[in-house]
Structure 1
Amino acid sequence: MAKGVILELHRNSGNWAKTVEEIVKLERKIFPKHESLAKFFDEELRKKNSGLLYLDVDGELVGYVMYSWPSSLYASITKLAVKEQWRRQGHGEALLEAAIQKCRTRKVSRILLHIDPLRTPALNLYKKQGFLVDTMIEGYYSSDRNAYRMYLDLDAS
């Protein structure tokens, strides 16, 4: 894995607009239009209990993870994406681990996410980190695309 640094995007930072613009471009490229948060990204990030971590490698944004914590009971991983040419190098895993750690510091009990069962690399990543399949939600993404709801319980220690 090329050395990079995981940074947290802060609302008042000088690089807010540039970083959000880069993430929106990546979002549009990776996700189908009906799954993309591109139109609402800035709005989502301005919510009080949401966060975004991104991986910077030599000045290039190569991936990000977006999460929210509506309460101390649970948090949600809402997006995790890595540029295609940077995949299979441990970047997604590093971003996911960083988001899990952020949730631990907020004393969250459980992390939830939804994943298309056909996205095998992503599914394997989540399982590797200890996420378990809770249930299948039929028609989650579209009438013919389902999702697994997965969870990770964080220990109280």
Structure 2
Amino acid sequence: MSSGVIVELHRNATNWGKVVDDIVKLERKIFPKHESLARSFDEELRKNNSGLLYVDVDGEVVGYIMYSWPSSLCASVTKLAVKENCRRQGHGEELLKAAIKKCRTRNVHRISLHVDPLRTPAVILYKKFGFQVDNLIEGYYSSDRNAYRMYLDFDAN
């Protein structure tokens, strides 16, 4: 990864406001309005059983991953995004690796996510980490945008 540091955002962090503002700006640039959590991001992050890791490069948020563990058995990656001019530098890979590690410490058995099949680099990244396509969900994002539901199972031992 090129000169970035993975940081876990904690509720009592002194830079909470700045980090959330940077993430909201990224959300608005990357995701269509109806898929963006920009308006409710702060609220989403304050929920129990959710986490957020971000890549800090010289004080700037260049990528983030949001995940949750609604039960003791499963976790879900809800967002993974990297600033356009910072892609293909390993940030997404490092974020996904760190989130998987965090979920494993909670002894979950499965991590699931949804991804647009047309986002080929994202699909390739998830498959590289062992995620498998479970199903194609038609109209998941909108009437003309589908999603793969993908999952990664861990050994039961």
Same fold (TM over 0.5): yes
* TM band (smaller chain): over 0.9
Alpha-carbon distance between aligned partners in 2 of 1:90 and 1:64, rounded to the nearest angstrom: 12
Number of residue pairs aligned between Structure 1 and Structure 2: 157
Question: What is the DSSP-based 3-state SS (H/G/I as helix, E as strand, rest coil) of the residue aligned with 2:107?
Answer: coil
Give unpaired runs (5+ residues) of structure 2.
Answer: none
**Cα deviation, residue 155, structure 1:** 2.2
Q: Which runs of 5+ in 1 are unaligned?
A: none
Identity %: 78
TM-score, length of structure 1 as denominator length: 0.98
- Verify: 1:117 aligned to 2:120, yes or no: no
SS of the equivalent of 1:130 reads coil
Corresponding residue for residue 95 of structure 1:
95
Distance (Å, rounded) in 2 between the aligned partners of 1:5 and 1:131? 24
Deviations 1:43-94 (A, max 9, x none): 1100000000001112121100000000111100000000011101111000
CA RMSD of aligned residues (A): 0.8
Partner residue in 1 for 2:127 = 127
In the alignment, which residue of structure 2 is the partner of 1:138? 138
Q: Matched residues in 2 for 1:20 and 1:59: separation? A: 13
1:22 match: secondary structure: helix
Letter in 1 for 2:25: K
Conserved? CA contact 2:2–2:90, under 8 Å: no
**Following superposition, which runs of at least 4 residues in structure 1 exceed 4 angstroms of deviation?**
none
> Where in structure 2 are the equivalents of 1:1-157 lying within 5 Å?
1-157=1-157
